[in-house]
Chains A and B, each alone.
Chain A
Amino acid sequence: MPGDEPVVSLRDVVKAFGEVVALDGFDLSVAPSRVTVLVGPNGAGKTTALRLLTGALTPDEGSALTFGLDPSGSMGDDVRRRCGMFSAKPALYDRLSGYENLRYSAELYEVGPTWPDRIAEAAARFGIDHALDQQVGGYSTGMKTRLALARAVLHEPDLLLLDEPTSGLDPESSHAVLGLIGDMASQGKTVVMCTHLLLEAEGLADDLVVMDAGRTLVAGPPDDLARQVWPGVTVRLEALDGPPAAALVEAAGGRVVDDGLTTLVVEVADLAAVPRLIDHLRDEGVLLTRVDTRRPTLDELYFALRGLRGTST
């Protein structure tokens, strides 16, 4: 596969389970060495999309290619060997020890004669080396998560797929997950993650795909998407007596983005408009305590995009 070809390419994919349509003309293209985050409400089709990438499911219509190959075809085993999957539910064998779980994966993915070293490295990386001899049934949720992470990267996959990776995790385990994604990205690996917790994708996502009802609402780098919604500069304002009145801001040429209890988020045309806005508010007697030009969070972006496309939350 040439270097600039997409690692993942889903085109006009339809996938239904009985009468429930999970994906309805879904498109996805993931470039190499990018972190792509699929976001959307429950039932948007995120997990189904991930399952298509390894050939665990096959499309009813449309095409799915991973590494340029059909993952549900005769070359599917080669595709799956290059993928690492981390599911929301760790999918570990409770009656086996941590070591045996990793060994099972190493043998199925045909890691080769270095598998004992790989197991030791992966376990140490996620801080579960001390518990490898114990039965997984006795592990805490966090330990299971870290073991599942170690298993997902044991065979050094080129494509890491994560399905709701921090759902229900303690801060340490969440940190381990996000650290892994960062490490994979820095190694030039491709990551596709689906989530409905946008906070975890903050700062990691090279590309954002907003899904709803099995379709792509919008896709692209977060900054590009943000510019579609807010072409100007976003400023967060707080004042001594509560947030400034929206009318005052609009009189100075600003547009109110979010009118919160303590904070007013406004958009102005460019950075030069910020001092003018401050002067205007000061002249009106507003005692500003915080002025913060900022990039909108993915959370704000997500809801703004969904609002633009007229979907319900």
Chain B
Amino acid sequence: MSEKTWPLWEVFIRTRNGMAHRHVGSVHAVDAEMALQNARDVYTRRGEGLSVWVVPSTAITASDPDDKDMLFEPTATKIYRHPTFYEIPDEVGHM
């Protein structure tokens, strides 16, 4: 019998209405439908989710770790971009 590795899928779960889907991990599965079921079985056993997305891992384009100085370092000195100078009223909730 031939052993082939199943494709990898990235799993995103939304925990509550109004929140964004968050990456939680990955699963192996033969296709999208089974990936969704596997994600449900592996990552929502403790009531974590209201909605699940799966995305083929190969569909993700990632930044090169070697580029991190060029991409991310320049923001370190621009503290005026952080909204730390404002008072945020409690009623605003999640920002």
Q: Do A and B come from one complex?
A: no
* Interface of A toward B, CB cutoff 8 Å: none
